[in-house]
């Protein structure tokens, strides 16, 4: 999270292919190394898991800008959807792979020895297939002395400014871009809900099954493993369907409504919040319905992944896109999934501490704390709705620059 602005700065100014490759190599190496750390040095393990985020930050901030440079607007949405499909697919595979490897080998460390192989393959593909410099970025740098100068030069006749804008000036400009700000806050709400679900849903489903008498109380680690596998499968399936559906709906509706993208995001966020709330209400009486509504909630959350990035790419000028994506990552993690699992846990613990120590209150405490996610989802829908009020003006301004 903290490294994202650094890579955003570098990505707007230096060779993106080298930064991309270095990030993949770094996070794959750290992941592999963490699997050999003994329990005596657990603090090094925690540190290594944090360092993975540095490599991920390089990829998350730069890869979408390369895709944006390689494809025109029509194909860009499709290609971004393919890219973002693998966010929920990767998350879902994490659950499936971790649970599967732990069961087969009897040692969860092997999950961290398999994923670096995928990172190695990605590194080879980046070296072989990603161009050194895209045509669009080349043209942007060539025009930097004219269109990339401070806007003061355009506003004050006779003044010639050819210096590149600084990082602080880029951030100031982005802060005045209301489409970028509101869509980033909407994405933050998405990240908040996604982070909380990813951490607590398997345990929540297990407690719901205990209350209904479907399973016997036992060690949570062993009893919730099947829920982790099921939830992982749901995350993969709904992620693929949601991202594809979102990109296709956006591509079609843009032809008739210039505000289609933020309106799609607002609608899907609201429906997702409604589905998650319904799943919470039904959890105590019908576990099958709970699974179904959680699946629909994740489906409508996934609709927005590619669409939100597409909004950023056409309301922000190319020379600031890496910085914009980096700031979006920083805000969405800082206010979203970095704290939401902890916050949900604190609320659940506080509720349980004030009531009887029983299986029923163990379930209710988590159920009540999860309601916060539904409300945050509604706030996210509101931010995307606000985006629709500014998007046409900000898009025109970006195209002019």
What does each of the 401 residues of the chain score in pLDDT, given as a tens digit?
888 888 888 888 888 889 989 999 998 999 899 889 888 888 999 999 889 888 888 888 888 888 888 888 778 888 888 888 877 677 777 777 777 887 888 888 888 888 888 888 989 999 998 887 665 555 555 554 444 444 434 344 433 333 467 888 889 999 999 999 999 999 999 999 999 998 888 888 888 888 887 666 665 445 556 777 788 788 888 888 988 899 889 888 988 998 999 999 999 999 999 999 999 999 888 888 999 999 999 999 989 888 998 899 889 988 888 899 889 989 998 999 889 999 999 999 999 888 877 878 888 999 999 999 999 999 999 999 999 999 999 999 988 87
Measuring CA to CA, how many Å separate 385 from each of 185, 333, 391? Answer: 11, 21, 10
Domain that includes residue 311, residue range: 4-139+167-400
Instruction: For 175, list phi and psi in degrees, rounded to 5.
Output: -65, -25
20 Cβ contact partners less than 8 Å away, ≥ 6 residues apart:
58, 59, 62, 63, 66, 126, 130
DSSP run (H or E) holding 66: helix 42-70
Number of independent structural domains in the chain = 1
Domain for residue 395, yes or no? yes
H/E stretch holding 389 reads helix 359-400
In a domain, residue 150? The reply is no
Q: Residue ranges of the alpha helices (H) in 156-286?
A: 167-175, 178-211, 220-223, 225-253, 260-282
Residue 53 falls inside a structural domain: yes
> Does residue 146 lie within any of the structural domains?
no
**Nearest partner of 325 among 314, 312, 338, judged by Cα:** 312
Specify if 267 maps to a domain.
Answer: yes
CA distances from 64 to 58, 77, 399 (A): 11, 11, 18
Query: H/E element holding 11?
Result: helix 4-11
Whether residue 159 lies inside any domain: the answer is: no
Distance CA 230, CA 237 (A): 11
Residue 151 lies in a domain: no
- The closest alpha carbon to 64, from 77, 54, 55, 74, belongs to 77
Compute the distance between CA of residue 276 and CA of residue 269 in angstroms, rounded to an integer.
Answer: 11
Is 202 part of any domain? yes
CATH number of the domain enclosing 79? 1.20.1250.20
Cα–Cα distance list, 9 to 66, 170, 251, 268, 281 (Å): 15, 10, 30, 32, 45
What is the C-alpha to C-alpha distance for residues 251 and 77, in angstroms, rounded to an integer? Answer: 7
């Amino acid at each position: 999270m903290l490294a994202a602005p650094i890579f955003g700065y570098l990505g707007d100014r230096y060779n993106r292919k080298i930064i991309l490759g270095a990030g993949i190599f770094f996070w794959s190496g750290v992941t592999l190394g963490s699997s050999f750390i003994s329990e005596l040095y657990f603090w090094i393990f925690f540190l290594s898991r944090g360092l993975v985020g540095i490599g991920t930050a390089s990829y998350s901030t730069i890869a979408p800008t390369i895709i944006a440079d390689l494809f025109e607007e029509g194909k860009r949405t499709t290609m971004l959807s393919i890219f973002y499909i693998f966010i929920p697919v990767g998350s879902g595979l994490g659950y499936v792979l971790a649970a599967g490897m732990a069961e087969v080998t009897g040692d969860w460390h092997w999950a961290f020895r398999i994923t670096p192989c995928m990172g190695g393959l990605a590194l080879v593909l980046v070296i072989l297939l990603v161009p050194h410099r895209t045509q669009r970025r080349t043209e942007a740098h060539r025009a930097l002395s004219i269109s990339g100068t401070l806007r003061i030069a355009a506003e004050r006749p006779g003044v010639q400014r050819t210096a590149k804008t600084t990082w602080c000036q880029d951030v100031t400009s982005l802060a005045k871009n209301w489409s970028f700000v509101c869509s980033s806050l909407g994405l933050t709400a998405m990240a908040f809900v996604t982070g909380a679900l990813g951490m607590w849903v398997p345990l929540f489903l297990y407690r719901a099954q205990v209350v209904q008498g479907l399973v016997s109380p036992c060690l949570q680690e062993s009893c919730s493993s099947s829920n982790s596998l099921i939830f992982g499968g749901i995350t993969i399936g709904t992620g693929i369907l949601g991202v594809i559906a979102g990109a296709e709906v956006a591509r079609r509706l843009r032809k008739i409504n210039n505000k289609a993208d933020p309106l799609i995001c607002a609608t899907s966020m609201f429906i997702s919040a409604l589905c998650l709330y319904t799943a919470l209400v039904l959890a105590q009486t019908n576990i099958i319905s709970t699974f179904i509504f959680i699946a629909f909630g994740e489906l409508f959350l996934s609709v927005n992944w590619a669409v939100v990035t597409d909004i950023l790419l056409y309301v922000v000028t190319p020379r600031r896109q890496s910085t914009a994506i980096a700031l979006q990552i920083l805000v969405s993690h800082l206010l979203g999934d970095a704290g939401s699992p902890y916050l949900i846990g604190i609320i659940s613990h506080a509720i349980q501490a004030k009531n009887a120590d029983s299986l029923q209150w163990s379930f209710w405490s988590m159920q009540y704390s999860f309601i916060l996610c539904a409300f945050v989802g509604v706030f996210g829908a509101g931010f995307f709705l606000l985006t629709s009020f500014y998007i046409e003006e900000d898009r025109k301004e970006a195209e002019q620059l």
